[in-house]
Amino acid sequence: MKNLTVKKYDQNDYKIWNDFVSQAKNATFLFHRNFMEYHKDRFEDFSLLIFEEEKLRAILPANKNGNTVYSHQGLTYGGLVYKDETKQTAVIEIFQTVLSFLNKNSFEKLYLKTIPSIYHLKPSDEILYTLFLAHAKLTRRDSLSVIDLAQEKSISKIRKRGVKKALLNKLIIKEEAGFELFWNEVLIPNLDNKHNAKPVHSIEEMNHLQSLFPENIHQFNVYFEDKIVGGTTVFETETTAHCQYISKNPNIEDLGSLDFLFQYLIQERFVHKRFFDFGISNENQGKNLNEGLTYWKESFGAGTIIHDFYEIETSNYTKLNGIFV
């Protein structure tokens, strides 16, 4: 590729950015500017567009802090986004151009989080090979618990017992329009009691995002005698149903609520997807694993998909010289 240039995103790029996201082979709705900007007050955006002459070849959702650039810290995953026509050699050239641009603008490091393979529309690991060539340092590795819905589903006996218990208790699942009940009655109290933490998203933010992406963001609640006892918030992409939040009421005896809910989501509601992603069970930057939570997810038939995070010295753009033979 020749005549590659890098441009910092501004509001005039809104349409070309979103059009590119809709055509990329490794993008989801999280990269749409409407999603990225719901928390723009918390991050100083430094997203980049990479052009070959007048043609947009790749984008990098990002923010900056001091002399460091990050794959956007407000997003679960990120990295270099490109189309199917952009092959391995082109990704190497594009990434070298990005590193060189950052280096010349006095940024010392780039922290890049990858896009897990389950969210790719087509194989898109060109960036992983490129990171290896650029001597990127692996700084974090999370393990996602994922079910391949194209394969035969294998739910354990203990989960089946939970479903039977839920049926005996006459639990009801509802897909809701709002998030208030789940947040206030289940999620916030549970996070506070167990982890002294709060949800990443506020109720107002979730309602706003769902209004922008009604086909992608869903809330499912479970009821016992008209009282909410559990639920999950699901982000749906073209390939995958991802559980953003999972919680049940800690003050109510085990009624089988989550077993009942997830059997429904896996075997009925999202059975048409390729993957069902329970999310991570990691803490401490991936260095600790919640054993009980992992076991619970695996008992639905989930296996592990890796999500990697890298640190790259921007001066390493020179490492990508002389690669091709």
Q: Which residues pair with 65 in a beta bridge?
A: 68
> How many residues appear in the chain?
325
Interacting residues of 325 by C-beta distance below 8 A, sequence separation 6+: none
Query: Hey, where are the domains in the chain?
Result: 4-141+308-320, 151-273
Plot region of 140 (φ>0 → left; ψ -120 to 50 → alpha; else → beta): beta
Give the three-class secondary structure for 170: coil
Which of the following CATH numbers is that of domain 151-273: 3.40.50.300, 3.40.630.30, 3.30.460.80, 3.20.20.370?
A: 3.40.630.30
Which of the following CATH numbers is that of domain 4-141+308-320: 3.40.630.30, 3.30.1780.10, 3.40.710.10, 3.30.450.20?
A: 3.40.630.30
Are the folds of 4-141+308-320 and 151-273 the same?
Answer: yes
Distance CA(166)–CA(11), nearest Å, equals 50
Q: Has this prediction a pTM greater than 0.75?
A: yes
| Burial classification of residue 37, based on how many CB atoms lie within 10 Å of its CB (0-12 exposed, 13-18 middle, 19 or more buried) | middle
Q: Which residues pair with 217 in a beta bridge?
A: 235
Tell me which residue of 161, 190, 180, 189 sits closest to 221, measured CA to CA: 180
- Contact predicate 220/175, CB 8 Å: yes
Distance CA(199)–CA(187), nearest Å, equals 8
pLDDT tens series, the chain, 325 aa: 579 999 999 999 999 999 999 999 999 999 999 999 998 889 999 999 999 999 999 999 999 999 999 999 999 999 999 999 999 999 999 999 999 999 999 999 999 999 999 999 999 999 999 999 999 999 999 999 999 999 987 899 999 999 999 999 999 999 999 999 999 999 999 998 877 889 999 999 999 999 999 999 999 999 999 999 999 999 999 999 999 999 998 777 789 999 999 999 999 999 999 999 999 999 999 999 999 999 999 999 999 999 999 999 999 999 999 999 9
